[in-house]
Amino acid sequence: MTGDKELENGNFALLIAAYLTLNTSLNLLNKWALGHYGLAFPLVLTSTHMLFSFMVLAPIALRTQWEIHERTLTKQWRGIVYIGCFMALNIALNNISLLDISLSLNQIIRSAIPVVTCLLSAVVERKIPTQQEVTALLILTIGVMITVWQGAVTGKPHAIMFCILGTVCNGAMMTFSSKLLSEKLDVVRLTFYTAPVSLVCLAPFMFWREFRNFQAYFVTNNTNVTGIMLVSSLNAVCYNAIHALVIKRTSAVTTTVIGEIKIVALLALSALLLGESKDFTAKMLFGIGLAMTGFVMYSHVKLAKARSAAATLPRVASQNGTSSGTKGNNSTEDLPLLNKEMTSPPPRV
pLDDT in tens, 294-333: 888 888 888 887 777 767 655 555 555 555 554 444 443 3
- What integer best gives the mean pLDDT of the chain? 79
Q: What is the model's pLDDT at position 178?
A: 84
Q: What is the model's pLDDT at position 345?
A: 39
**DSSP string of 10-45?**
HHHHHHHHHHHHHHHHHHHHHHIIIIII----HHHH
In the Cβ-directed half-sphere of 275, how many Cα atoms lie within 13 Å? 0
Lowest mean pLDDT among 82-86, 139-143, 280-284, 317-321: 317-321
| Among 111, 94, 91, CA closest to 264 | 111
**Amino acid at site 231:** V
Is a pLDDT exceeding 50 seen at residue 49?
A: yes
State mean pLDDT over 199-222: 90
Please report, in angstroms and rounded to a whole number, the separation of the first and last CA atoms in the chain.
29
Is a pLDDT exceeding 70 seen at residue 341?
A: no
* Per-residue pLDDT tens over the stretch 7-33: 677 788 898 889 888 888 887 787 788
Band of residue 165 on the pLDDT scale cut at 50, 70, 90: very high
According to the 3-state scheme, what is the secondary structure of 241-294? Answer: HHHHHHHHHCCHHHHHHHHHHHHHHHHHHHHHHCCCHHHCCHHHHHHHHHHHHH
Q: Is there a contact between 124 and 176 (Cβ–Cβ < 8 Å)?
A: yes
Is a pLDDT exceeding 90 seen at residue 46?
A: no
Alpha carbon separation from 332 to 107, 329, 339 (Å, rounded): 52, 9, 8
Q: What is the model's pLDDT at position 302?
A: 80
Chain centroid to CA 5: how far?
Answer: 25
State mean pLDDT over 104-118: 83
| Euclidean distance between CA atoms 154 and 49, whole angstroms | 31
Q: What is the model's pLDDT at position 339?
A: 37
